[in-house]
Amino acid sequence: MDYLKLQADAKDENRNLLVVFAVVIAIVAATAAAVVTAVAWLTFVVVDLVMRANGTPIPSDVTDAALRSDLALWGLLYLIVGVIVAAVIVWVSRSREKALALFGGAGIARSIGGRRIDRDSADSAERRFVNAVEEMAIAARRPAPTVYVLDGEPGINAFNAGWTDETTAIGITSGALAELRREELQAVAAQAMSHVFHGDARLNLRLMALVTGVAGIAMIGENWMDSAMPDDENGEDEGLFVPLFVAGFMLRCVGWVGAWLSSMVQRSVARRHELLADATAVELLRQSEPVRDALRRIGGHPAKSRIRRRRARSINHLFMADAGGRRRGGLHPDLRLRVLSLDASWTGDWLRPDTSDHISPHGSEAIVRSPMPSPAVRTSTIPALEPLGPLFDAFAATASAGVLTDNQFSSGAGAGLLAPVMQATVFGAVLETTAEPEIDTARIRVLVSAIVHQAAGSTPTVATVPESCSVDDVVARLSALRRSSPVDRPKLLAGAGKVLRETGDCSAFAEAATVWLQTDTDLDQWMVGRLVVGNLVSPKPPKKRRPLERLRGEYATVLAFMAAIGGGDARIAFTVGAAKAGLIGTSPRSVSTLRVLDKALGKLAALHPDDHSRAQAGLEAAMEADGLSRNSEAEFLEVVRLSLSPD
């Protein structure tokens, strides 16, 4: 994690937030003013029309000269309403901010049942935490805040509250006191002090007040709607005052949309500042392990960071990790993302309570790792293959040596259609098995057809497919090949590509295969096509290489697809992958058609080779985000790897 950049970004963001405040207020005010002005204008036009129809028109000097044709008047109305609306938002926000700020940090801590602790506490864990807070206050060059404990909370969490350095309070759950070691307690204190350091509590308060201010417009709209309704108690038959009702309704819509927008801003700022606080905690401690381990303990604890008392959930944004409740999920970054930001080599282990044993995030569930080995493994020598007959032995020997002469090829493999069979076998192998055998067979049939088409030069029929190329034959070979180690398969596949390039016109084959494969354009066929083409035809070197940051959009498309086919929570998988690729903050792109994906992969071919491993690491992280690697995910990873153009 680049702390300096993150901090510089946060400072810029604080500056930009003022602009965001102004823009939100301006947009809401302008829209509300437009609504009110338009309704007033329409009302005037309608009234005028009705009166004309009744034969009692408004004197034309009033209608034409003064109102309808006089734009300045309507402009003035628009401006006045806009200014009033903006003033209302600012006023409501300010008074809300003042009301919230009346509670100091201590007030908030007490309101959720916090018990104050100090250095003289009889409990050694409490004393340790108070000491840790004081230490971190010294490191942050801030006065030491008062410290509270939330009794009876088994989860691991902490909060900070208060709007000035002097009135800040830091609270911790009794669960955290019991579970965390001294260094981790220090990390929690550092994290809380970082929020104080950056003034996050006050910032959050401002943003929440803004949400209230904008929502105030909606309240006014509701009020107008109420006034426009016929008043039964009066006994007078007033009827519905349509213009006021319409204006009220539209104001309400504007208000709620504005409030929703500003709450989105608030949540996104809260999430970013949580990551910033993690980074600052590392800076204060000068080491990242305690912060990382404190987060890993939260993930490994049965109660996680949940807070039992409901009142505490209303201040979820002040907590270090998600306190649970209705507004769950929006205010804190995913815990895995946070750990990963601190330690890019983290493998997903949480820390179990009481012991330092590492456990899998999925308990006893078996983790199926990617069948595609990492590039480092791929370069190792091939272990002994299972006997697959002389044909396959010859091929394997060649593949492991990396060189194939025509002589070896013909002596070991014979002539005629042996090479196509081999191709079909090897390509079939990389496709892996699916859950349904019929799909497997169908895929192989497509491959065999394509291969025979290329070898024979004509569209194959049942009669023209030779005995040795039958689907059954290939399936039989495949079942043996699949028992071989996953390490061998990509090597074999690469070897097959090499063989083809050296012995024949592989681009013709690839084209033929693609044409065949395109007859059905479902995902499965697409994947086969991509694998075949990618293995046979070296991509053309692009004219200009681009860094991953410049291809962010294309990468987001590919990563979103990987996350979507994973079966787990696609949003989390995407976020984890993006973080691993160093593109925190990228949002996923929708992949509506395979054409979109094709296009993105095509553009990604221009990725600079230095960024290849980063891009692949991101995809692997997304693949393994749910702890399971499916075959389709592994195949897709291979497709992407093949699309990236080497030097």
Partner 1 sequence: MIEALFVLSLIVVVLAVVGIAVYNRLTMHRERTRTAFSQIDVQLERRYDLIPNLVKIAQRYLTHEQDTLTDVIAARASATQARIEVNGDPSNIDAMRNLAGADGNLGSALGRLLAVSEQYPELKADTSMATLTEEIRNTENRVSFARQAYNDETRLYETYRQSFPQTIVASATGFDPFAYLETTSDEARDRVEVTFN
Return the residue of 136, 276, 303, 430 that touches partner 1, per CB under 8 A: 136
The residues, ordered by sequence, that sit 6+ positions from 217 with a Cβ below 8 Å of its Cβ are 28, 32, 85, 88, 89, 251, 254, 255, 258
Distance CA 157, CA 308 (A): 11
Interaction mask 165-194, partner 1, x per CB under 8 A: -----------------x---x--------
| Residue placing its CB nearer to partner 1 in the complex, 185 or 218 | 185
Return the residue of 13, 135, 165, 343 that touches partner 1, per CB under 8 A: 135
| Residue placing its CB nearer to partner 1 in the complex, 284 or 572 | 284
CB of 143 to partner 1, least distance (A): 11
CB 246 within 8 A of CB 229: no
| Residue placing its CB nearer to partner 1 in the complex, 132 or 601 | 132
| Residue placing its CB nearer to partner 1 in the complex, 131 or 314 | 131
Q: Which stretch binds partner 1 (CB under 8 A): 126-134, 391-399, 448-456, 632-640?
A: 126-134
State yes or no: residue 294 binds partner 1 (CB under 8 A). Answer: no
CB of 147 to partner 1, least distance (A): 14
State yes or no: residue 134 binds partner 1 (CB under 8 A). Answer: yes
| Residue placing its CB nearer to partner 1 in the complex, 19 or 122 | 122
CB of 139 to partner 1, least distance (A): 4
- In which residue are the tokens 């033929």 written? 512
CB of 283 to partner 1, least distance (A): 10
Distance CA 391, CA 389 (A): 5
Interaction mask 138-157, partner 1, x per CB under 8 A: xxxx----------------
Q: Beta strand pairing status for 169-173 and 146-150?
A: parallel
Distance CA 270, CA 331 (A): 6
DSSP string, 579-591: HHTT-TTPPPPP-
CB 422 within 8 A of CB 442: no
Residue 148 host element (H or E): strand 146-150
State yes or no: residue 598 binds partner 1 (CB under 8 A). Answer: no
Residues 218-257 binding partner 1 (CB under 8 A) are none
CB of 177 to partner 1, least distance (A): 14
The residues, ordered by sequence, that sit 6+ positions from 421 with a Cβ below 8 Å of its Cβ are 391, 451, 468, 469, 473, 474, 477
- In which residue are the tokens 């600012």 written? 90
> How many of the other CB atoms lie within 10 Å of CB of 133?
25
Distance CA 343, CA 346 (A): 6
Return the residue of 124, 234, 345, 407 that touches partner 1, per CB under 8 A: 124
> How many of the other CB atoms lie within 10 Å of CB of 264?
12
| Residue placing its CB nearer to partner 1 in the complex, 284 or 447 | 284
The type of residue at 38 is A
The residues, ordered by sequence, that sit 6+ positions from 43 with a Cβ below 8 Å of its Cβ are 243
Interaction mask 262-291, partner 1, x per CB under 8 A: ----------------------x-x-----
Q: Which residues of the chain form contacts with partner 1 (CB under 8 A)?
A: 124, 127-128, 131-132, 134-136, 138-141, 182, 186, 284, 286
